[in-house]
Structure 1
Amino acid sequence: MSDPRSPDEFRASFIAAALSVGLRQNGDFNGARQEGVGSFQLTQRDGMRHSTAAAFLDPLESRPNLTIMTNTDAHRVVIRNGRATGVVVEHDGRVETIGAASEVIICCGAFNTPKLLMLSGIGPETHLQALGIPTVVANDHVGAHLMDHPFYTVNFETDRPGTLFDSADRTVLRTYARERRGVLTSNIVEVGGFFSTRSGPAPDQQLLAGPAFFRDHGRRSHDKPAFMIGSSLVGSRSEGRVSLRDNDPHSAPSLRFNYFRESADMTSMVVACRLIREIAHSPSLRALTTRELDPRLGHSDADLADDVRRHVQHTYHPACTARMGAPGEGVVSPELRVHGLTALRIADASVFPSIPHGNTNAPTIMVAEKAADLIRSGF
């Protein structure tokens, strides 16, 4: 973890704007208090994203007891007499079975972990039967309870330097290459905060802002410098589902997020919409703004709710599709073992009983660390 390496005008202006509308400053979101605004700490080293592969796998790749297979898809877990004994995989176009001397640990993420379980006969029995997959363990919670953080953004044009629009500038490139500093160290959403729209143990909304144009999951661009302010519903209560399209392991799973199925979620987003514009219209940010790029028609709650539905994005934080819980209430035990089988565990965000009120990267690493401790200790 590290703090942003290069202070910029937008970050300071956003914090000043948020403070002016009544939010508190927070210098450490990972400390005792989550609520407030400030700069986010980043999963970076020397100005670059530091992935779990770089942190955990790269230093150990020469170990004789570790084999990393790329270009490999898992087709199903092999289960004999209630025990996971291996995995059928396709490696470079060739299907083979890899045996497990001790146990199998699934870490395919909240979309593909339930997919792999269902292809292996572990999941809702009626769904498996409809696809011609023999049921090994019937469990309606596999693929259920999908949760994510709905995200709504507003973009503003600016004439100030220092946004990611300048990322191709030779001076910017030279600064990053030599010093690992400057705008290219930005993670786009480098500043923000947490606030509450309803009572609860933790804030339910996360402000996300940065010196970049961001629309339609980053697939669209703008021809001038811009900045973005958005809010993510980290306290979402709505649940969706992951299911299989067919019994072909090459097919992507079917995803239904069911955003805003719980009406309280939309009520919270409407409050967040109003706060975004209140912050954007404060003097410190208006001084940077030449025009709003996403002007919305109407200001009633119904108008704002309709706009959220039409422009909602997600924050790539899917979770809870193989949730931890007692038999009959979840998929895995507190030791991450799949109910009804032996020698099979899951170690990814799919095991979260509910989605965290914050980003999922660090909690997922925590699950993996805990899994390693459990395996080493023999639990």
Structure 2
Amino acid sequence: MKEANYDYIIVGAGSAGCVLANRLTEGGRHRVLLLETGGSDKSIFIQMPTALSIPMNTKKYAWQFETEPEPYLDNRRMHCPRGKVLGGSSSINGMVYVRGHARDFDEWQQQGADGWDYRHCLPYFKKAETWAFGGDEYRGDQGPLGVNNGNNMQNPLYRAFVDAGVDAGYFATDDYNGARQEGFGAMHMTVKNGRRWSTANAYLRPAMARDNLTVVTHALVHKVLLEGKQATGVRYEKDGKLVDVKASEEVILSAGSIGSPHLLQLSGIGNREVLEQAGIPVDHELPGVGGNLQDHLEFYFQFRCKEPVSLNGKLDWWNKLKIGVRWLLKKDGLGATNHFESCGFIRSKAGVEWPDLQYHFLPAAMRYDGKEAFSGDGFQLHIGHNKPRSRGSVYVQSDNPRQPPRILFNYLQHEDDREGFRDCVRLTREIISQPAMDRFRGPEIQPGVDVQSDQEIDAFVRQAVESAYHPSCTCKMGVDDQAVVGPDTRVHGVSGLRVVDSSIFPTIPNGNLNAPTIMVAERAADLIRGLAPLDPSTAPVEMDEHWRDRQRPGGARRAIA
């Protein structure tokens, strides 16, 4: 083994790791090593937004993890892809930019993540982004991350969906990442100049020109090196050879909500019983490692479309070729969007303070692998209950770093989660039945009009629901006995070791996870460097003041029993 020395070692060049690599090398003071198991992100299938389904389902670019049989989903094994490429999951995701509701971060603060409330997080969201329509007290205009609305809802189905939400008595929201999340409006995506604007493009590529950053790809990290309760470096494998590297300051795990707890466990840090069953010596007992696993589920609510305006007419090889050629030449058109250009955030019932249901609207009826669901025109809504109470785990199985961990989400274990999906079905039918959709609404394809009772909805959901690919919370931030890192992102009881990625979320936000993961890394970079935090925001948060007794601003629905 050969040795090399750095100030900081970052494990994982994903949504958080690329941010850290950029920020920690600013000014040239620190020598930083960034390790990534995957390789280049220069594939057209990664860079072209409309091709999003390809890298997610390709072994070269993503860990193709699979869960244990999920006991509350008829023992189905669920697909759990995670990025294995520069940019990590930001290079394989759907590019949807949702920060989450302000109360999600206040919830973090209440659970012991001091300083991570909305007032302190909002400045870092702003620091990260350049919003296509200019900055204000909520949106940034000087950050690395380009955010826009794709093709600005040119397809008439997008606007019809938003109008249907308003017809049903919900808010229209000009910016769900601004003062009010609740309501219907345009959806935002991390796309710039027609290209996927991953953290590799936004943060890493500029930093790679600096002499003090070393990036090593195709490097499989085996473990964190410990001397007593001090992390001193990591051991990784490249080209069949083991390499030990030392960090004079800190080791930072940014391997994601599956990779980071797994690597801690491989290093002898975790729940004693889990480590002993895997045959790994316990160097530091930390019971919460790998627990508290949370994710978002969703299903596709599909309808036929009465007018030939959906994208189903663009799924043949000839139209795909034309879209691809136009994108190659001009970086615009249907190739330059993820097609989720309108959305909705609503509360499932009266008594829920902030939105717990999320809609992604797609002007097509197709599967996530990009194949059509049926012949003819259609549209679909991806709908899910976003504040689950079910909890799962990511546990190491052996000391072999190539053996995937045991992943069990326990999806829909909690009755509140099952109730949330019943609300998804019934509220969606009501929204799509509004006059704004009359011109386009054809027969319901899925779930089907015969699915009506609680029992019928539950059975449908168990078979149809899919992961929204938002695993999180497995190295939770806090101060209780299940917390893995403190509010400073340092691992409890081990000096020189941090975790910075979506695994440290105490609870899952109401929205897609790329934006809050980038925010966490931006704020953690200041903590690591000992910089004063950005001044907290005073921007107001708009809520439905009558949330206790009504499900939507246009009228009461059902109160919580």
- TM range, normalised to the smaller chain? over 0.9
Partner of 2:439: 287
Distance 2:512 2:385 in 1: 11
TM-score by length of 2: 0.64
Q: Equivalent of 1:95, from 239, 242, 245?
A: 242
- Count of matched residue pairs: 378
Match of 1:55 in 2: 202
Give me the whole-angstrom Cα distance separating, in 2, the residues matched to 1:200 and 1:298.
26
| Whole-Å separation in 2 of the counterparts to 1:236 and 1:9 | 33
From 278, 289, 313, the counterpart of 1:142? 289
Q: 1:219 to 1:40 in 2, by over 3 A?
A: closer
Contact (CA 8 Å) 2:312, 2:376: kept in 1 or not? no
SS in 2 for 1:34: coil
* Preserved contact between residue 451 and residue 460 of structure 2 (Cα < 8 Å): no
Residue 274 (structure 1) aligned with residue 274 (structure 2) = no
Query: Could you say which residue in structure 2 is the equivalent of 1:166?
Result: 314
- Residue 248 of structure 1 aligns with which residue? 400
CA separation in 2, counterparts of 1:312 and 1:324? 29
Q: Secondary structure at the match of 2:216?
A: coil
SS at the partner of 1:11? helix
Deviation at 1:178, TM superposition (A): 4.4
Cα distance in 1 for partners of 2:342, 2:312 equals 14
Deviation at 1:186, TM superposition (A): 2.5
CA distance in 2, matches of 1:58, 1:230: 33
Q: Tell me: CA distance 1:181–1:225, structure 2 relative to 1, closer, same or farther (3 Å).
A: farther
Q: Which moved more, 1:20-29 or 1:206-215?
A: 206-215
Query: 1:295: how far off?
Result: 4.4
What's the CA shift for 1:164? 6.0
Supply the distance in 2 between the matched residues of 1:271 and 1:335 (Cα, whole angstroms): 38
Q: 1:313 to 1:201 in 2, by over 3 A?
A: same
How far does residue 183 in structure 1 lie from its aligned partner after superposition?
Answer: 2.3
Compared with structure 1, are the counterparts of its residues 283 and 45 closer, same or farther at alpha carbon in structure 2 (3 Å cutoff)?
A: same
In structure 1, the partner of 2:519 is 366
Q: Does 1:376 align with 2:529?
A: yes
Corresponding residue number in structure 2 for 1:2 = 148
1:278 partner letter: E
1:322 aligns with 2:475: yes
Determine the C-alpha separation between the residues in 2 that align with 1:129 and 1:85: 23
Greater CA drift, 205-214 or 340-349: 205-214
Shift of 1:261: 1.6
Matched, 1:192 2:343: yes
Partner Cα distance (1:153, 1:172) in 2: 25
Give how far 1:220 is off. 5.0
Alpha-carbon RMSD across the aligned residues, in angstroms, is: 2.1
| 1:211 counterpart letter in structure 2 | P
C-alpha distance in structure 2 between counterparts of 1:77 and 1:208, whole Å:
39
Tell me how far 1:162 sits from its aligned partner.
4.8
CA distance in 2, matches of 1:80, 1:165: 61
Q: Please tell me whether the aligned partners of residues 149 and 341 of structure 2 are also in contact (alpha carbons under 8 angstroms).
A: no
1:218 counterpart SS class: coil
Give yes or no for contact 2:253–2:498 (8 Å, CA) kept in 1.
yes
Structure 2 CA distance for aligned equivalents of residues 219 and 10 of structure 1: 19
Q: Structure 1 residues 147, 340: closer, same or farther in 2, change over 3 A? A: same
Range with bigger deviation, 85-94 or 218-227: 218-227
Encode CA deviations 1:248-305: one digit per residue, 9 max, x unaligned. Answer: 1101111111112221111111011112222333344343245433243330122112
Q: In the TM superposition, what is the alpha-carbon distance from 1:315 to its structure 2 partner?
A: 1.1
Tell me which residue corresponds to 1:354: 507
The alpha carbon displacement at 1:370 in A equals: 1.4
Cross-structure match for 1:119: 266
Distance 1:32 1:327 in 2: 32
Instruction: Classify the secondary structure of the residue corresponding to 2:225.
Output: strand
Aligned AA (2:148) = S
Q: Secondary structure at the match of 1:19?
A: helix
**Hey, what does 2:42 align to over in structure 1?**
none
Q: Which moved more, 1:119-128 or 1:185-194?
A: 185-194
- Quote the offset at 1:225 in angstroms: 4.0
Listed one character per residue, the Cα deviations across residues 148-199 of structure 1 (whole Å, up to 9, x for unaligned) are 1111212233352351651652554454344433222231322111000142
TM-score by length of 1: 0.93
Query: Does the aligned pair in 2 maintain the 1:13–1:284 contact within 8 Å?
Result: yes
Q: CA 1:114/1:148 → structure 2, altered by over 3 Å: closer, same or farther?
A: same
Q: Report SS of the residue matched to 2:412.
A: coil
Q: Secondary structure at the match of 2:179?
A: coil
1:233 aligns with 2:385: yes
